[in-house]
């Protein structure tokens, strides 16, 4: 079967090349599987970052709309207080006259009882 040492060398080289080919194929398989896992993780991270970005935009929009509503509310309250301030003097004068009327009525009752 093996006539010369060159035949043995060729057989050893063929087995070595076959072993090296199997090792390279096995290494490429695990490298591709690892890269696929890294790709999936990066895609998940990208989706999470996108969701966080959407959430921050949503919160910012809500805060801005809330601030505008709050600004409108404060303007309305200021207007109401300014308008109420002018009526407050009239209301206090009416209450003062009612109080004076009640005092006079009481005094008149006391005077009639004596």
Residue with the bigger pLDDT between 41 and 114: it is: 41
Domain range list for the chain: 1-30, 44-109
Q: How far apart are CA 111 and CA 103, in angstroms?
A: 12
**C-alpha dihedral over 84, 87, 88, 89, to 10 degrees?**
150
Note the pLDDT of residue 85.
65
Q: How far apart are CA 52 and CA 55, in angstroms?
A: 5
Q: 68-105 pLDDT, tens per residue?
A: 888 888 888 777 777 666 677 777 888 888 888 888 88
């Amino acid at each position: 079967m093996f006539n010369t040492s060159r035949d043995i060398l060729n057989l050893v080289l063929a087995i070595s090349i076959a072993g090296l080919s199997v090792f390279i194929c096995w290494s490429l398989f695990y490298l591709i599987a690892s890269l696929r896992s890294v790709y999936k993780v990066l895609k998940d991270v990208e989706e999470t970052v996108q969701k966080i970005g959407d959430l921050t935009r949503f919160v910012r929009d809500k805060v801005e709309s809330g601030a505008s509503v709050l600004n409108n509310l404060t303007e309305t309250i200021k207007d109401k207080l300014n308008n109420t301030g002018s009526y407050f003097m009239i209301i206090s004068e009416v209450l003062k006259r009612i109080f004076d009327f009640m005092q006079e009525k009481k005094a008149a009752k006391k005077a009639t009882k004596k």
